């Protein structure tokens, strides 16, 4: 496996690979890799000749300095996992490489980046769009892989690719869960044993809501039940629970696979998100 910290030699390497006609899959990550990420690597390996995994904790997408500081950084373990998973290239740049000068560029995606995560993490998606644009320009992959856990992020990146005409095929890979149902996330590493147990409440809330909606309950009492379930744990603070259509992320009205339940909240100091398609 090749490891690059700088853009220039990575570009030279990839240009040579492209000249040989090789397709390239990009898996953008912030490191602290788990089985969810490895699933992205597996998908990319199946569909491309070469897989590049970027590991970069992007400061411009954090609106909370404490969250940025506490974000787990485990490059040595990540490298071992990626070697074992058969990844071909790691790109792990420093901040000075990705932001040689402070960026003045901001993205505004209207409704899409003002709701849900966008409402609670102002500026987050602008930072995501910025760093993903940089990564797309540096790697120029054939395909790029993202997890369905970050559903809204995938919508934002789809919008970005369409608007800026990136010639890249986007792929969304299903959520990987622990046996407890907890969605895998790098942030789970920050939960203690007790909190890891509490954190399953988000998935249980989604399952409860899906069941109630399928039984014909309307969203208002369902939302109340989800709130009560989350509030039954003192360490859990629900931030939002919404039911929207998967195309425009507008409030959903009828049960269909074109609708999705999204939830976010804190367990102790750690912010988690999860979602479930309603069908």
The residues of the shown chain that bind ligand PAF, judged by CB under 6 A, are 28-30, 58, 61, 128, 131-132, 150, 153
Say how far apart CA 80 and CA 152 lie, in whole Å: 30
Task: Considering the complex, state which of residue 150 and residue 274 has its C-beta at the smaller distance from ligand PAF.
Answer: 150
Say how far apart CA 235 and CA 250 lie, in whole Å: 30
Residue 192 Cβ, how far from ligand PAF at the closest point, in Å?
A: 23
37 is catalytic: yes
Residue 131 Cβ, how far from ligand PAF at the closest point, in Å?
A: 5
Task: Considering the complex, state which of residue 129 and residue 209 has its C-beta at the smaller distance from ligand PAF.
Answer: 129
Distance of CA 213 to the CA centre of its chain: 26
Secondary-structure percent of the chain, ordered helix, strand, coil, rounded to 5: 45, 20, 35
* Contact assessment for residue 261 and residue 210, using Cβ atoms and an 8 Å cutoff: yes
Q: Residue with CB nearest ligand PAF?
A: 28
Task: Considering the complex, state which of residue 58 and residue 142 has its C-beta at the smaller distance from ligand PAF.
Answer: 58
- Smallest CA-to-CA distance from 87 within 30, 44, 143, 132 is with 44
Residue 27 Cβ, how far from ligand PAF at the closest point, in Å?
A: 9
Catalytic residue among 37, 106, 159, 193: 37
Say how far apart CA 212 and CA 207 lie, in whole Å: 9
Residue 80 Cβ, how far from ligand PAF at the closest point, in Å?
A: 19
Angle of the 151-164 helix axis to the 124-139 helix axis, nearest 10: 60
* Contact assessment for residue 58 and residue 132, using Cβ atoms and an 8 Å cutoff: no
Residue 42 Cβ, how far from ligand PAF at the closest point, in Å?
A: 17
Distance of CA 40 to the CA centre of its chain: 11
Task: Considering the complex, state which of residue 150 and residue 195 has its C-beta at the smaller distance from ligand PAF.
Answer: 150
Task: Considering the complex, state which of residue 28 and residue 93 has its C-beta at the smaller distance from ligand PAF.
Answer: 28
Say how far apart CA 273 and CA 53 lie, in whole Å: 23
What are the angstrom distances between the C-alpha of 203 and each of 64, 106, 111, 163, 172? 25, 33, 26, 33, 20
Q: Which residues are catalytic?
A: 37
């Amino acid at each position: 496996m090749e490891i690059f910290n700088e853009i220039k030699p990575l570009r030279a390497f990839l240009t040579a690979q492209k000249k040989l006609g090789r397709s390239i899959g990009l898996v953008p990550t912030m490191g602290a890799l788990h089985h969810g990420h490895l699933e992205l690597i597996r998908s990319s390996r199946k569909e491309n000749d070469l897989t590049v995994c970027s590991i970069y904790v992007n400061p411009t997408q954090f609106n909370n300095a404490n969250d940025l500081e506490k974000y787990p950084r485990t490059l040595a373990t990540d490298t071992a996992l990626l070697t074992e998973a058969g990844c071909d290239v790691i790109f792990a740049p420093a901040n000075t490489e990705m932001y040689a000068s402070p960026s003045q560029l901001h993205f505004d995606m209207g409704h899409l980046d003002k709701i849900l995560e966008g409402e609670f993490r102002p500026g987050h998606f602008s930072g995501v769009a910025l760093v993903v644009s940089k990564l797309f320009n540096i790697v120029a992959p054939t395909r790029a892989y993202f997890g369905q856990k970050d559903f809204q992020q995938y919508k934002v990146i789809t919008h970005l690719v369409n608007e800026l005409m990136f010639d890249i095929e986007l792929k969304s890979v299903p959520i990987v869960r622990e046996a407890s149902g907890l969605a895998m996330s790098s942030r789970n590493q920050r939960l203690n044993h007790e909190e890891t147990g509490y954190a399953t409440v988000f998935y249980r809330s989604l399952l409860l809501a899906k069941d109630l909606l399928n039984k014909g309950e309307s969203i208002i009492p369902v939302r109340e039940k989800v709130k009560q379930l989350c509030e039954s744990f003192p360490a859990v603070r629900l931030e939002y629970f919404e039911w929207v259509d998967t195309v425009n992320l507008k409030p959903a009205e009828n049960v269909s696979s074109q609708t999705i339940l999204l939830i976010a909240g804190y367990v102790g100091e750690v912010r988690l998100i999860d979602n479930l398609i309603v069908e």
